[in-house]
């Protein structure tokens, strides 16, 4: 990978206020670019807002039209890559929690949430692919909120070349301190076990549909140690530098880089004894 400066946004996203949300995204996109960021990541479903009731059918939209054009225009004007989330409706009417990779030239990728949390299961369809994306000299994956609780997903991304994983959240309830402590149970493990960077951010404030989000953002290095954190429910961005040397230092240490010594065939072997 190349050295890269990234920005992560803590962002308030009222439901069904798409134009309003995009207008407010512009402020933080411009701020990120002024601070030298090449990529800015917004929280899960920040464009359309996040809700888990029947109104999701009203706010979901296809990856086309004015919304995407507005984001493409912002990416082009500021020469920055935008990672933004929305409720996506496909041509068959299925609804996905999706995150878009928007470069100055195009929507270069879409990640559809793979692991749907129990409260979401009546409203969202799970994705079926594990894409990786490459831009600005880095190869990365995206996971959305509940996805991060499944270690196999991060391992799959790392084995297939991911150097960092963005994990946007729409995780409600609790205080910023409690949310940060909750994240510390599993996010450092995803970085440490797979020797990659993890970048996470959350929505903040009221969404107009009965949910309140506590914010918080964090950047974790490939050794599992925190590079930068923002334990606050105030809207804003955090900018951090991801260094290629930090990744190389871990991955070139044969006792710290575990993935080359995996034995995946062992786990698939039928009838393997679990006794000693």
Q: What is the pLDDT of residue 170?
A: 98
Report the 10 Å Cβ neighbour count for 234. Answer: 11
- At 52-101, the pLDDT tens digits run 999 999 999 999 878 889 999 999 999 999 999 999 999 999 999 999 99
User: Smallest Cα–Cα separation from 84: which of 113, 41, 123, 50?
Assistant: 41
Q: Which one-letter DSSP state was computed for residue 148?
A: G
CATH of the domain at 221: 3.60.110.10
- At 242-253, the pLDDT tens digits run 999 999 999 999
Whether 16 shows a pLDDT value over 90: the answer reads yes
In a domain, 169, yes or no: yes
Domain that holds residue 104: 4-255
- At 100-120, the pLDDT tens digits run 999 999 898 999 999 999 999
Give the strand pairing for 197-202 and 39-41: unpaired
In a domain, 174, yes or no: yes
In a domain, 43, yes or no: yes
User: Smallest Cα–Cα separation from 236: which of 42, 44, 58, 106?
Assistant: 42
């Amino acid at each position: 990978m190349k050295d890269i400066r990234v920005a992560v946004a803590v962002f308030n996203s009222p439901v069904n206020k798409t134009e309003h949300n995009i207008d407010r995204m512009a402020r933080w996109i411009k701020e990120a670019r002024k601070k030298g960021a090449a990529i800015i990541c917004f929280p899960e479903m920040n464009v359309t807002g996040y809700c888990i009731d029947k109104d999701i059918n009203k706010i979901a939209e296809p990856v086309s039209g004015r919304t995407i054009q507005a984001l493409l225009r912002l990416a082009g004007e500021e020469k920055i890559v935008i990672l933004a989330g929305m409720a996506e409706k496909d041509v068959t009417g299925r609804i996905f929690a999706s995150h878009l990779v928007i470069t100055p030239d195009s929507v270069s990728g879409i990640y559809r949430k793979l692991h749907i949390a129990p409260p979401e299961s009546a409203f969202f369809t799970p994705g079926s692919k594990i894409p990786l994306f490459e831009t600005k000299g880095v190869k990365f994956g995206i996971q959305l909120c509940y996805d991060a609780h499944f270690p196999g997903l991060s391992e799959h991304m790392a084995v297939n070349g991911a150097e960092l994983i963005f994990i946007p959240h729409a995780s409600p309830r609790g205080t910023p301190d409690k949310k940060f402590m909750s994240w510390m149970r599993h996010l450092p493990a995803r970085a440490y076990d797979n020797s990659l960077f993890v970048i996470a951010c959350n929505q903040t404030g009221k969404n107009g549909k009965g949910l309140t989000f506590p914010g918080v953002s964090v950047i974790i290095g490939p050794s599992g140690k925190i590079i930068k954190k923002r334990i606050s429910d105030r809207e804003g961005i955090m900018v951090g530098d991801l260094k290629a040397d930090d990744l190389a230092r871990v991955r070139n240490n044969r006792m710290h880089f575990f993935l080359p010594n995996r034995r995946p065939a062992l786990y698939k072997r039928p009838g393997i004894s679990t006794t000693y």
